[in-house]
Structure 1
Amino acid sequence: MGASRVFLGHVALFTAAIAAPLEERKEKPKSFLADLGNSTWVIGNGIWNVTQGRQYATKLWYKGKDRVGQAVGHYVSYNGAASDLNWTSAAIADSGNNWINVKFTAKEGDFHWLIHDDLAGAYQYFVNHALPTLGEFRTLWRLDNTSFPKGHTNVKDGVLPPLSDYVAATKVQDETWQKVDGTFLTKYDWSAFLREQIYYGVYGDEVGSWYINPGKDYYNGDQLKEELMIHRESLTGDAVQLNMIHGTHYQAISKDSFADGKTWGPWLWYLNDGSKDDAARRWKQEEKAWPYEWFEDVAYQSRGSVSGKFLLSDGRPASGAAAFLGDSNSNLSTLDQGKDYYYTAYADGNGQFSIDDVRAGTYGLYAWSNGGKIADVTTSFVQNGVVIRKGKATSLKTLTWAVTDKKKRIFQVGDFDRVTDGFALSGPTPFEHGRISKCPSNLTYTVGKSKTSDWYFGQSALGTWSIIFNLVSIPSSAAGAKLTASLAGFSGGSSADILLNGAKIGNITTNSVLLPSSQDTYRGATRAGEWRLLEFPVGKEVLKKGENTVDVKVTSSTQWRGWLWDSIVLEWV
């Protein structure tokens, strides 16, 4: 500790020297980069400064204290903690009257800190040059747990579990512990839907550290992309603030290769006195300013817009549909797309949608039911080759979306919207370890009598869930039927047979090619994960007049591993 105090004193002397006298520095602090030799640099202004080493930024001086302390600090890494970037040089890439742009260079690319004289924090961005094919790419802070005892996302706020709680508990799986009282500690309860975030971070009574990402086009995935946002480091107690700019925490297989020049950001890393109200105000300021006029990059500034109207083939507007602008002619799901830039929107009540500030390029347009008035729609919409030009508004006019005939529907359990909303125990929060174990082993749902809330959000335990329905007649025009099982998520380890009147018609099978395992239920997701669509043909002879039964019979079970239900549909074909 003695050496640390001496070094921080050296930093303080350095900043005072370049901005003395003190009174002048308070009125107009000056941003700086200092090279201390031995791959050590100091960056900051009169409000804060960071000591950056070859790998880690080990000191954050703010409000009179080092806010890293015994924690790890700031770093950039890919594929988890396996590959931290090593900085070979630092330089001021650009500057103005009251700001500097500091570039740290590694073999994989350049990480920038845009520092304004009067800003507590910095704008940050990364420019790729040689990243490998990867799944996870992140920037993060690991900070002092006494300065930052609390965490905040848009769905969870409160005190991060103290390190003593972990010591007294029993580890049961990946970063998950069971306490003596039977409840669980897990970092994954601090996950959230990434594109819904406004400001998030860690904070205390003196200070707060926040990530504000007003532009989200550099993220991989669609509206239902989930990520770990913050947590308590279980071994050291560090307060961890993650910036998962390309993440896979709730995906099975998501690896991308990136073009030279692919840019993540800019986003704002923001410091304050711990006020969430202040962070919210800053979010509004950044949201209004995005895309940033000051960011001098031709591709970033080359933007247009797209609009159109989704009309279902049965004449209804696709009210509230989810729209996603992503890769053209891709064989990847919208959640798995991540090599370029991506945009999301929801249609209004008339099926109209618009997306502004889209980078120029060629995209694929995807759409699917988000429940509501089109909760019966089981098909999706795709149109490739959508061209966006700089300064131009692309109008796609009316887009016809082919849907099945509602008159052929035999039954439907749950809205078709890729989430578990409406089912028992799907809330009140979208993440809770072990909640799937509270779902019953056996269940009977009677069409026409049972409510959506009588079905549960997730299934894992050995047993049978039955759907009883009546048929008045068997239509002579029907060649057969089709059962659609829409899963909002799936974690391998449990399997089931699907039977109709005792005859096996399908399955939900671990290690199936159609069902690669993601970490949805395993990491406590209760609302959504990686969506899967299973369709099974049903022979006409299997159905009968009168009472019929569909059974989902779990044949093998692994604790906390199973599937999230979106909807189950039977219809004539």
Structure 2
Amino acid sequence: MGSLRSILRSFCVAALLQCAVTTPISPTAPTTKSFLKQIDNSTWIIGNGLWNVTQNKQYATKLWYKEKDLVGKAVGHYVSYNGAASDLSWTSAAIVETGKDYINVKFTALEGDFHWIIYDNLAGAYQYFVNHALPKLGEFRTLWRLDNTTFPKGRTNVKDGLLPPISDYLAGTNVQDETWQKADGTYLTKYDWSAFTRGLDFHGVYGDDVGSWYLNPGKDYINGNHLKQELMVHRESKTGDAVQLNMIHGTHYQALASDNFSDGKTWGPWLWYLNNGSKDDASERAKQEDKAWPYTWFKDTAYQSRGSIKGTLILSDGRPASGAAVFLGDNNSNLTALDQGKDYYYTVYADKDGYFSIDDVRTGTYGLQAWSNGGALADVTTSFLQNAIAVSENKTSDLETLSWKVADRKNRIFQVGDFDRKTVGFKLSGPTPYEHGRIAKCPANLTYTVGLSKQEDWCFGQSALGTWSIVFPSSSENATSVAARLSVSLAGFSGGSSANILLNSVKVGNITTNSALLPSSQDTYRGATQAGEWHLLEFPIAKTALKAGFNQLDFQVTTSTRWRGWLWDSILLEYI
């Protein structure tokens, strides 16, 4: 029977795949050339001598690699937007470019074109998508759902290990979307497999003898800034599929990330890579892709048209903007850097002298932003913004010295936490950036005394009914004669909990669910402990509100929803 199957398989290859699509091409077939073969109006087979996949109208199944189907009973590969609500439906496929050792296969849908660039001797393929008619959307993704026994493990740059078996889901109690409580009281959630997108080297699912990885060098086509986070891998709770996500436009930890895209907007190319399960090999390949980006072989005029910028940020008090987060994004946008996503985006950090440079920027006109990343700028509340930054092909735009207006530090009464848009330094903010329900471990009541307490005494997030207090002194000469300003910087906010802010028992402000100033994101709700959607709230303090001697600032939670609340960045009180 085995020899008969081999004969039939060889016959299929010799007959150029004029056989039933249920018979995959063997990786030992006597050809290594990349190919596309159309079976009928909604079925195609693509691949090379190392792998091949059967692409149907929506799903790519029967991924044949190392003499095994890696999809099995799982769903396979597909492209979708707004979650699973809209899977792209392919109407045709064609080879649109041929090289000595590769082909470029285009699958066409109403919304746009998905390309597989298949090299003859590469296990995997480069992929990219060209928009033509996508609707306004928040989530746009490509993904693999693969056999759960072949791929028992997942890997991001912050989490690596066994994916939970489906039996754990079946035995647990569902407590919110894709989150279960186990019998021992711990939680099981797919969101533990999230990561900061721009700091990610590679991610995927793997087993003892095979690995499937996404390598995304450049990342300029992905929405958001330095603190952009996305779900990367997980176990599908209903079927057990091993899920490998490529969230090329995502919203998992955001509130307003919804965009319209121009015709021709291109995501990618990235590399989908198969190997023997070796993380070291995948890491080395990722480094090679980073060095090769932007790809010289990608024959797209807009993609190849690039320049660079450089400059030096100096604060108005004379300090260099040491370590500042620098973002190049939309020109004249009314969106935050995290929520921008219609075009292309670049992120770096300034050096100790405030100098920064960004290479390989697509030509165009951009807006430049910068903000504190803590450290030497821990006291800087303001952001830098300059629009109309022109990037020309093969040229460097020298912005020279840029002046960044900051407040006088001498007016400071107290500050708790660094301004860096993160919870780092507070109690329970680490070591890992994700854990469902960790916010519930923060106390309901807490007192922080300026001059005695340490930063780590303040917990990373607040949600429970109760009061957190900051006790601080105020000098007698300023207490009743000078107005002040309270700056409350939140690293994230999941609507459902609210608080009144009281100074010496008098209400001066609030942190309020459903406020226009605080659009709700899914950060604390999805177990984020270090960052989410950043917000800066500022409240005026009247001259008569402070008193000589000790004062007390209270954050009194009046409404609480389990696992929903806010992540702390910094709290600053200063004279103005």
Q: Residue 530 of structure 1 corresponds to which residue in structure 2?
A: 533
CA distance in 2, matches of 1:7, 1:296: 41
SS at match of 1:453: helix
Question: Structure 1, residues 346-386: CA drift from partner, whole Å, max 9, x if none?
Answer: 00000000000000000000000000011000000000000
SS at match of 1:279: helix
Q: Residue 264 of structure 1 corresponds to which residue in structure 2?
A: 267
Q: Residue 51 of structure 1 corresponds to which residue in structure 2?
A: 54
User: Are the aligned partners of 1:130 and 1:260 in contact in 2 as well (CA < 8 Å)?
Assistant: yes
User: Does 2:574 align with 1:571?
Assistant: yes
CA distance in 2, matches of 1:9, 1:167: 43
User: Does 2:419 align with 1:408?
Assistant: no
SS at match of 1:240: strand
1:176-325 to 2 correspondences below 5 Å: 176-325=179-328
Q: Residue 564 of structure 2 corresponds to which residue in structure 1?
A: 561
**TM-superposed deviation, 1:7:** 11
- Superposition RMSD on alpha carbons, in Å? 1.9
Question: Structure 1, residues 8-43: CA drift from partner, whole Å, max 9, x if none?
Answer: 997775446559xx9997796110000011410000
Q: Residue 172 of structure 1 corresponds to which residue in structure 2?
A: 175
SS at match of 1:300: helix
**TM-superposed deviation, 1:474:** 3.7
1:75-90 to 2 correspondences below 5 Å: 75-90=78-93
Q: Residue 98 of structure 2 corresponds to which residue in structure 1?
A: 95
Question: Structure 1, residues 274-332: CA drift from partner, whole Å, max 9, x if none?
Answer: 00000001001101100000001111000000000000000000000000000011000
User: Are the aligned partners of 2:480 and 2:547 in contact in 1 as well (CA < 8 Å)?
Assistant: no
| CA distance 1:406–1:24, change in 2 (3 Å) | closer
- Matched to 2:32, the amino acid is P
**TM-superposed deviation, 1:189:** 0.4
Larger displacement relative to structure 2 (464-473 or 75-84): 464-473
**Matched residues, number:** 567
- Matched to 2:411, the amino acid is K
User: Are the aligned partners of 2:251 and 2:257 in contact in 1 as well (CA < 8 Å)?
Assistant: yes
SS at match of 2:40: coil
The structure 2 residue matched to 1:335, chosen from 329, 333, 338, is: 338
CA distance in 2, matches of 1:53, 1:407: 66
Structure 1: gaps spanning 5 or more residues: 1-5
User: Are the aligned partners of 1:447 and 1:467 in contact in 2 as well (CA < 8 Å)?
Assistant: yes
| CA distance 1:261–1:224, change in 2 (3 Å) | same
**TM-superposed deviation, 1:206:** 1.2
CA distance in 2, matches of 1:7, 1:327: 57
**TM-superposed deviation, 1:97:** 1.2
The structure 1 residue matched to 2:499, chosen from 478, 482, 496, is: 496
1:478-517 to 2 correspondences below 5 Å: 479-517=482-520
SS at match of 1:60: strand
- Matched to 1:274, the amino acid is G
CA distance in 1, matches of 2:10, 2:571: 64
User: Are the aligned partners of 2:479 and 2:546 in contact in 1 as well (CA < 8 Å)?
Assistant: no
| CA distance 1:359–1:122, change in 2 (3 Å) | same
Q: Residue 22 of structure 2 corresponds to which residue in structure 1?
A: none
| CA distance 1:11–1:447, change in 2 (3 Å) | farther
1:14-29 to 2 correspondences below 5 Å: 14-15=12-13, 29=32
SS at match of 2:36: strand
User: Are the aligned partners of 1:28 and 1:117 in contact in 2 as well (CA < 8 Å)?
Assistant: no
- Matched to 2:183, the amino acid is V
User: Are the aligned partners of 1:478 and 1:572 in contact in 2 as well (CA < 8 Å)?
Assistant: no
CA distance in 1, matches of 2:290, 2:219: 11
Q: If the length of structure 1 is used for normalisation, what is the TM-score? A: 0.97
Q: Residue 398 of structure 2 corresponds to which residue in structure 1?
A: 395
SS at match of 1:377: coil
Q: Residue 73 of structure 1 corresponds to which residue in structure 2?
A: 76
SS at match of 1:299: helix
Question: Structure 1, residues 373-400: CA drift from partner, whole Å, max 9, x if none?
Answer: 1100000000000000000000000000
Question: Structure 1, residues 133-175: CA drift from partner, whole Å, max 9, x if none?
Answer: 1000000000000110000000000000000000000000010
CA distance in 1, matches of 2:206, 2:26: 29
Question: Structure 1, residues 437-463: CA drift from partner, whole Å, max 9, x if none?
Answer: 000000000001100000000000000
Q: Residue 451 of structure 1 corresponds to which residue in structure 2?
A: 454
User: Does 2:558 align with 1:550?
Assistant: no
Q: Residue 146 of structure 1 corresponds to which residue in structure 2?
A: 149
User: Are the aligned partners of 2:27 and 2:49 in contact in 1 as well (CA < 8 Å)?
Assistant: no
User: Are the aligned partners of 1:460 and 1:563 in contact in 2 as well (CA < 8 Å)?
Assistant: yes
User: Are the aligned partners of 2:27 and 2:67 in contact in 1 as well (CA < 8 Å)?
Assistant: no
User: Does 2:532 align with 1:521?
Assistant: no
**TM-superposed deviation, 1:475:** 2.8
CA distance in 2, matches of 1:91, 1:26: 23
CA distance in 2, matches of 1:130, 1:227: 24
Q: Residue 3 of structure 1 corresponds to which residue in structure 2?
A: none
User: Does 2:378 align with 1:375?
Assistant: yes
**TM-superposed deviation, 1:254:** 1.4
**TM-superposed deviation, 1:270:** 0.1
